[in-house]
Amino acid sequence: MQICLGFKFAGIHCGLKKAEDALDLALILSQTPATAAATFTTNRFPAAPVIYGRRQLAAGESLRAVLINSGNANACTGSQGEIDVLSVAEFLGAALNIKAAEVFISSTGVIGEPLPVTKILKGIEKLVDGVKIPGDPVITFERAVRAIMTTDRFPKMVACQLETSQGRVTINGFAKGAGMIHPNMATMLAYLLTDAKIEKNTWQALLSRVVEHSFNRISVDGDMSTNDTVLALANGASGSFLTTAADLELLENALLQMTQELAYMMVKDGEGATKVVKVMVTGAPSPTAAEKICRAVANSSLVKTAFFGQDANWGRIIAAVGYAGVDLRPELVNIDFDQVRVVSGGVRDRDYREEMGAAVLRLPEFSVKIDLQSGEDEFLLLTSDLTHDYISINADYRS
Amino acid sequence: MQICLGFKFAGIHCGLKKAEDALDLALILSQTPATAAATFTTNRFPAAPVIYGRRQLAAGESLRAVLINSGNANACTGSQGEIDVLSVAEFLGAALNIKAAEVFISSTGVIGEPLPVTKILKGIEKLVDGVKIPGDPVITFERAVRAIMTTDRFPKMVACQLETSQGRVTINGFAKGAGMIHPNMATMLAYLLTDAKIEKNTWQALLSRVVEHSFNRISVDGDMSTNDTVLALANGASGSFLTTAADLELLENALLQMTQELAYMMVKDGEGATKVVKVMVTGAPSPTAAEKICRAVANSSLVKTAFFGQDANWGRIIAAVGYAGVDLRPELVNIDFDQVRVVSGGVRDRDYREEMGAAVLRLPEFSVKIDLQSGEDEFLLLTSDLTHDYISINADYRS
C-alpha cells in the first residue's frame, strides 16, 4: 500500500477501551497545513467534537493534526464536553508546536459519559513521542486505522495513486463504522488524505458530491449517530496542484471509488451482517419518491430478517414499498432479485418459482430491484441483513 | 366472559395452516343486519379483502357475517385475488341465505400466494353446519379467536358489560397481531361487537376516535401490513338504542379501554418481545414534532435492542431524538425511565447512577418519558424490545 507524502500516523492504547492492548487513540499529522473539507451528521444532538469541527471548517482553518479516540463519543456531554474538546486540542497543539485551531478532533463510542480527558492527555504524550520516531508508514497507518475501530470486525482502508498532468499523487482513505449506520452518516468516521494540492472550495464541493453517492447510500440499522464525520485533507506534499478539469475529474472518480469501497466495507461489516444487499428503486415519478421507497425497504426489520433467513419473502418487500408513503400504481410494480423476475405488475411473476428466488438469497451479495414504471428517477442503497449477532452485539454493547 | 346477544361464532381447521389441528377459519354471524364501521391499512398495496371491505363500507352495507382466514393474506394477488374474495363471499352468502354484500372478509398470513379457495369453500360448509348446532357461546367465541391467530402466542380477547339508560349492553372484542405491527395498523385484525344499537355515522366516528388512541399507538417493528382491519358491528339484539350523550360516552370509554387492552396485548405478544415499553414525548412544539420523535425512538432497532439487553443506554434514545428530523434545543431535553431522572438539560443528570436506570430496565414493563420543554404537545406509543426470538420467528416464518 502506498502512503501519501507528508503525513505521519500513530495509534496507541490510552485506556479508553477496557482490553489492555486495544488501540483507542489515533493521530494523523501533516507536515504542512492541509486544506480541509468535511461533512458532518445531521443529528440534532451533535457531539461536542462535531460542534467544534463545524466551527473550525466554517472558519476556513487549514489543519495540521487530527486526533481520534474510540471508546467514548463525547456526545450529550453539554458544555463540559465542549470544554474537553478545547483542552485536548490545546494540549495536542502545544505538544506539536502548532495552533490549537489546526487540530481536528473526532470521538466515537458510548454516548453521555464524560470524556476521560486525563487518559487522553497522557495518550497524547505517547502519540507525539511515537510520531517523532521514524517508522514504516504502512504499519503506523494501519495502527491508526485500528485505533478508531469500535464494534468493527476488520479495519477499513483504501489507497490509490493517480498519474495527473502535474505528476503522481497518492490518496489514502480509512473509516470505521458498523452498527448505527444510516444514509445520513452515522457513527461513521472516515478520513480521506491526499498529497495533492487542491483549492479549498473545489475540495469541499468534490467531497460533498462523493459522500452523497457513497457514505450516504448505506444503511445498517436505520439509526444515525451524533458523531458522524467525513474529513478530507489535501496537504500538497507531492507538489502537484490539481486545477484542470481533467485532473479534478480523475481525482473525483478515484475518491468516489474509494469512498464507495469504504461504504461497502461498512455494510459488509454491519453489526452481525451476513449479507450485503443492493436495494435499487427505478422508474420512480420523483427523486424523493425513489428515495422514500428505497429507504423503507432497506430499513425494514422484516425484510432484513428475511434476507438473513434466506427467505425469498417478496411480500414483505411489497409491504414496505406500500407503506413508504408514496402514491403508486401497484399493478405496474416489478421486482427482480438479481436477474430473477419475481413480481410482474404487482403480482407474482407467472414463471417465478420459489427455488429461483431462494437461490439468489443464498448468495452473500445480491440485488433487489424495484421498478415502479412510473417515471425516470432512481435511488440506490446498500444494506445488510438483520441477524442474531446484531442483537447480541447491541444488547451487550456496554457490558 | 359475557357474550353479546344475537351473535354466533365458529372456528375450524380448513387446511390453510399446515398443522393438522390448527384452527384457520373463523365465522362471526349476526342474527340481524348489524351496523358496521371500520378502519383499514393505509398501505398502498391493500390486500384484496381490504379493497372489497372498503367498497362495502363505503356503500353503507349492513353486515350479517364475517369470515376470517389465517395462513394466507390474499395480498398482491391482483385481479384474481379480488375475484377470489367475491367467490368466497357469494358462497358463504348462499350457504347462510344472506346477500353476498352482507359478508365481510378478512385474510391474514403469507403475502403473494393465491388464496386456496377450494379449501375455504369446503371449510365454509363445516362452519355453517357448526353454527346451526347450539353450543356454549364462550367456547365457540374462543375458537373463532384462535382461528385468526398467526404468530400470536396467546389469544387476545376482551369483554365488557355496560348499564346504559336503555338497559344492559354487552361488548366483545378480539384481535390478532404480533409482528409487523406499526402505528398505522399492521397485520393486525381486530373485531369489536356489541348488541347495542347505534346510529351508523355515530358508530364510525366513535370507532375512528378509539382506534387513533389504541391500535394506532403501538409499534413492534415499524412495518405496516397490507391487510390491517378493525371492524366494529352493532346488531341491536339487546334492544338498547344508544343515542344520548351520556350513553354514547359510556360506550366510547368502554371501547377505548377495550381497544387499548387489545393493543397492549399485541405489544406484549410482539414477536419475541420480553418487554412492554411506553414511550412518551411531552413538551413538544407541535403534535407532529411529538409524534416524529416518539416514532423515531419507539422504532429504533438500537434502542429496542438495548431494552432487550436491559442496558440503560440513554445515549441511543438521545441519538434517535436527534435524528427524528425535528428542530429542538438539546439543552432543554429531559429523559426519565419511570420515576428516575436520567437526562437533565441534554446531559446525564448529576444524581443519576447507572444502577438506577438498570433497575428500571430489568422490569418487564416501564416507561421512557422524553420532555422537550418546548411546548404543550404530546405523543405516546407502546413498543416492545427487539430480541433473538424476533429474528428466529421472522427468519423462518414461511419454512
B263-301 pLDDT per residue, tens? 999 888 877 788 999 999 999 999 999 999 999 999 888
Closest partner residue to A391 (CB to CB) among B330, B386, B399 is B386
Cβ–Cβ gap B315/A111 under 8 Å:
yes
Sequence ranges of chain B with CATH classification 3.60.70.12: 7-268
**Do A299 and A308 contact (CB within 8 A), yes or no?**
no
**Do A184 and A381 contact (CB within 8 A), yes or no?**
no
pLDDT tens column, B69-122: 999 999 999 999 999 999 999 999 999 999 999 999 999 988 888 999 999 999
* Band of residue B398 on the pLDDT scale cut at 50, 70, 90: low
- Cell triple for residue B344? 437533565
Buried b (16+ CB within 10 A) or exposed e, A68-84: bbbbbbbbbbbeebbeb
Q: Looking at this protein, which amino acid is placed at residue B40?
A: F
Shortest CA distance to B275 belongs to which of B314, B303, B317, B256?
Answer: B303
Contacts of B221 in chain A (CB under 8 A): 301-302
Query: pLDDT > 90: what percent of chain B?
Result: 74
B139 CB-near residues (< 8 Å, 6+ apart): none
What is the model's pLDDT at position A184? 35
Residue count (chain A): 399
Shortest CA distance to A62 belongs to which of A28, A102, A106?
Answer: A102
A32 carries an active-site annotation: no
Residue count (chain B): 399
Q: Which fold has domain A7-268?
A: L-amino peptidase D-ALA esterase/amidase (3.60.70)
What is the model's pLDDT at position B182? 39
* Band of residue B313 on the pLDDT scale cut at 50, 70, 90: confident
Alpha-carbon distance of B356 to B342, in angstroms, equals 9
pTM of the predicted structure, to 2 decimals: 0.85
Angle between helices A314-322 and A301-308 (to 10 degrees): 160
Residue in chain B lying closest to A315 (CA): B111
Q: Looking at this protein, which amino acid is placed at residue A333?
A: V
Pairing assessment for the beta strands B25-40 and B229-234 based on DSSP bridges: antiparallel
User: How crowded is residue A247: how many other Cβ atoms within 10 Å of its Cβ?
Assistant: 19
What mean pLDDT value characterizes chain B?
91
DSSP letter for each residue of B44-88: SS--HHHHHHHHHHHTT--EEEEEEEEEE---S-HHHHHHHHHHH
Q: Looking at this protein, which amino acid is placed at residue A322?
A: G
- Residue to substitute from B347, B362, B393, interface A, most A β-carbons within 10 A: B347
Alpha-carbon distance of B150 to B156, in angstroms, equals 12
Which one of A187, A259, A282, A383 is the catalytic residue? A187
Q: Residue B266 gets which letter from DSSP?
A: H
CA dihedral A123, A129, A133, A137 (to 10 degrees): 30
Name the CATH superfamily, with its identifier, for domain B276-395. ArgJ beta chain, C-terminal domain (3.10.20.340)
Alpha-carbon distance of B226 to B257, in angstroms, equals 26
Element at A283 (helix H, strand E): strand A276-284
User: How crowded is residue B132: how many other Cβ atoms within 10 Å of its Cβ?
Assistant: 10
Closest partner residue to B396 (CB to CB) among A184, A309, A386 is A309
Using the Cβ of B397 and the Cβ atoms of chain A, whether some distance falls under 8 Å is answered with yes
Closest partner residue to B387 (CB to CB) among A224, A321, A391 is A391
Q: Looking at this protein, which amino acid is placed at residue B347?
A: V
Using the Cβ of A347 and the Cβ atoms of chain B, whether some distance falls under 8 Å is answered with yes
Shortest CA distance to A75 belongs to which of A54, A47, A40, A52?
Answer: A47
Alpha helices in A97-216 (DSSP H): 117-132, 137-147, 200-212
Alpha-carbon distance of A180 to A186, in angstroms, equals 6
DSSP letter for each residue of A344-396: ETTEE-TT--HHHHHHHHTSSEEEEEEE--S-SEEEEEEEE---HHHHHHHHS
Sequence ranges of chain B with CATH classification 3.10.20.340: 276-395
Q: ipTM value of the model? A: 0.80
Alpha-carbon distance of A360 to A340, in angstroms, equals 8
Pairing assessment for the beta strands A340-344 and A276-284 based on DSSP bridges: unpaired
Going from the C-alpha of A397 to that of each of A142, A188, A223, the distances in angstroms are: 25, 17, 15
Note down pLDDT in tens along chain A; length 399 residues: 899 999 999 999 999 998 888 999 999 999 999 999 999 988 889 999 999 999 999 999 999 999 999 999 999 999 999 999 999 999 999 999 999 999 999 999 888 889 999 999 999 999 999 888 888 999 999 999 999 998 888 999 999 999 999 999 999 999 998 654 433 334 789 999 999 999 999 999 999 999 999 998 887 555 567 888 999 999 999 999 999 999 999 999 999 999 999 999 988 887 778 899 999 999 999 999 999 999 999 988 888 888 988 888 888 899 899 989 899 999 999 999 999 999 999 999 999 998 999 999 999 999 999 999 999 999 999 998 888 777 777 776 554
Min Cα separation B65/chain A (Å): 28
Alpha-carbon distance of B269 to B272, in angstroms, equals 7
Beta bridge partners of residue B176, listed in sequence order: B189
**Do B150 and B70 contact (CB within 8 A), yes or no?**
yes
